[in-house]
Amino acid sequence: MSLPAAIIDRLRLPLIAAPMLRVSGPELVTAACTAGVIGAFPTANARTAAELDDWLSRIEGTTGAPYAANLIIRSPRLAADLRVLVEHRVELVITSVGSPAPVIDPLHEVGALVLADVATLHHAERAVAAGADGLILLTAGAGGQTGWLNPFAFVRAVRAFFDGPVVLAGGISDGHALHAARALGCDLAYMGTKFLATRESRADPAYKRMVAEADLDDIVLTRAFTGLPTSMLAPAIRAAGLDPAALDESISPADADQLYGHGGIGPRRWSDVWSAGHSVSGVTAAPSVAELVEQTATEFAEARKGFS
């Protein structure tokens, strides 16, 4: 099963502006959809389910590509946020941090397409068995909590047993990389870090500047802040008074939350210690979303022409 024509026909590029904690809001989502790519956001970025309802009402007035809402399965707000998505009959839902099984039936009842974040072949198989319509493959180099698998091997291993929609997440820095993802067998790809630096992003201006000034060697893969493999910015770690080379890599998720989560005794992850992916090397400025999509479309066309 490929992506429905009702979605494909509305896309300028086979691209999702990836959902980013504290960064993706209705401004970024609506700008992405207007430009012809799927705009996505974590429902947790809205402070309450009532605010989420308001965000969806604002986003639904946008013309262009569809949007995607990202449900964090282990969120204490899961049930409330799910009810809002069902009420709005959202077309696309991304599930992350847990099995999609608890939300599949109510979302399918309103016609939603469910794409599940997975970082291993085992989890990919489980998500398909649970009824997910598509898979988002978190590969080495994705920003935030990430996978470690090589994208070439991961995509081809998944394609050996699954013919549904596949999205590549990790390292998509321009239109050439997007074309490569398509050639590899993906329907769509995530682009996060470059959208993080756009003018419509809710990221702190200092965060945007750091991303624009950073390069690939400034990305650190560490468990210290979440208890899970996470791509973080070394300059942000140093600015928080920590040494990127001396972090606790044996910490549990619970202890990481006590240290760096809400109310923790250390610097706050995401708000004080910032994340980015390997594609940070492709960020040199803070364009508008429309400018970024236009540039990516030009690169994508060049890549396709080179292999025609």
In a domain, 263, yes or no: no
> 131: number of CA atoms within 13 Å, CB side?
12
Identify whether 253 is part of a domain: no
Query: Can you tell me the mean pLDDT for 82-101?
Result: 94
In this prediction, residue 1 carries a pLDDT of: 52
Q: How confident is the model at residue 62 (pLDDT cuts 50, 70, 90)?
A: confident
Number of domains comprising the chain: 1
Domain containing 150: what range? 5-202
Q: What type of residue is 182?
A: R
Q: Please state the φ and ψ torsions of residue 31, each to the nearest 5 degrees.
A: -65, -40
Average pLDDT over residues 83-103: 94
pLDDT tens digits for 168-185?
A: 999 999 999 999 999 999
pLDDT digits (tens, 9 = 90+) for 215-236: 999 999 999 999 988 999 999 9
Does 130 map to a domain? Answer: yes
Whether residue 66 lies inside any domain: the answer is yes
Residue 228 lies in a domain: no
Q: At what angle do helices 289-306 and 175-184 cross, to 10 degrees?
A: 50
pLDDT digits (tens, 9 = 90+) for 185-216: 999 999 999 999 999 999 999 999 999 999 99
- Kindly state whether residue 30 falls inside one of the protein's structural domains: yes
Q: Does the pLDDT at position 48 exceed 60? A: yes
Q: How many CA atoms lie within 13 A of 137 on its CB side?
A: 34
Whether the per-residue pLDDT at 308 is higher than 70: the answer is: no
Domain CATH number, residue 120:
3.20.20.70
Instruction: Output b/e per residue, 177-212; b: 16+ Cβ within 10 A.
Output: bbbbbbebebbbbbbbbbbbbbebbbbeeebbebbe
Cross-strand bridge partners of residue 189: 15, 168
DSSP character at residue 268? P
Query: Does residue 241 lie in a domain region?
Result: no
pLDDT value at residue 267: 87
Residue 211 placed within a domain? no
